Amino acid sequence: MGFKNYCFKKSLWVFHFGGASCNNCDIEILDCLTPRHDLERFGILLVGSIRHADVLLVNGSINKRDKERLLEIYHQAPRPILVVAIGACGCTGGIFAEGIPFAGPVDKIIPVDAYIPGCPPKPEAIIAGIVKLVNK
């Protein structure tokens, strides 16, 4: 079990689900993969298909249409899958929390393993969140 867990922690592949985002969090997530912060040092890769993913990154406010997509993506993912909510909108709803099309923060729809608040969170904050997730 120790070996399996170790391999899993050493190679987290990330799938990025953007809800109705203002694109700031998307840019900060991509910033983590750029030369300055280089998440590939820890074996973290951005993959194109949810079937290859180990971590589902969700950012942006989730409205009623996004909710169906998010549930579908979550059910298509192979287990074990970790879910990370990024940004104020993903964690709590932020300024959209009282809007009419808002369908609840991410943890009302699917179970969330880590929250990274901020509007947008800095890349350092995202890396700190990933480290905490890995050491959990």
Of residues 77 through 136, those in contact with other proteins by CB under 8 A are 78-80
Q: Which is nearer to other proteins, 118 or 134 (CB)?
A: 134
Report helix, strand or coil for 13: strand
Of residues 20 through 39, those in contact with other proteins by CB under 8 A are 34-35, 38
According to DSSP, the β-strands at 13-18 and 45-46 are: parallel
Write down the least CB distance from residue 133 to other proteins, Å. Answer: 15
Task: Please provide the DSSP assignment of 49-103 as one string.
Answer: SGGG-SEEEEESB-BHHHHHHHHHHHHHSPSS-EEEEEHHHHHT-GGGTT-TTB-
Candidates 24-32, 47-55, 56-64, 88-96: pick the segment binding other proteins (CB under 8 A).
47-55
Q: Which is nearer to other proteins, 79 or 136 (CB)?
A: 79
Spell out a b/e string for 58-76, using b for 16 or more CB atoms within 10 Å of the CB, else e.
bbbbbbeebbeebeebbee
- Closest alpha carbon to 88 in 68, 109, 58, 110: 58
- Counting contacts by CB under 8 A, is residue 40 touching other proteins? yes
Q: Give the residue, chosen from 23, 27, 30, 51, that forms a contact with other proteins under the rule CB under 8 A.
A: 51
The amino acid occupying position 128 is: A
- In the complex, the residues that contact other proteins under the rule CB under 8 A are 3-4, 6-8, 10-11, 34-35, 38, 40-41, 43, 47-49, 51-52, 54, 76, 78-80
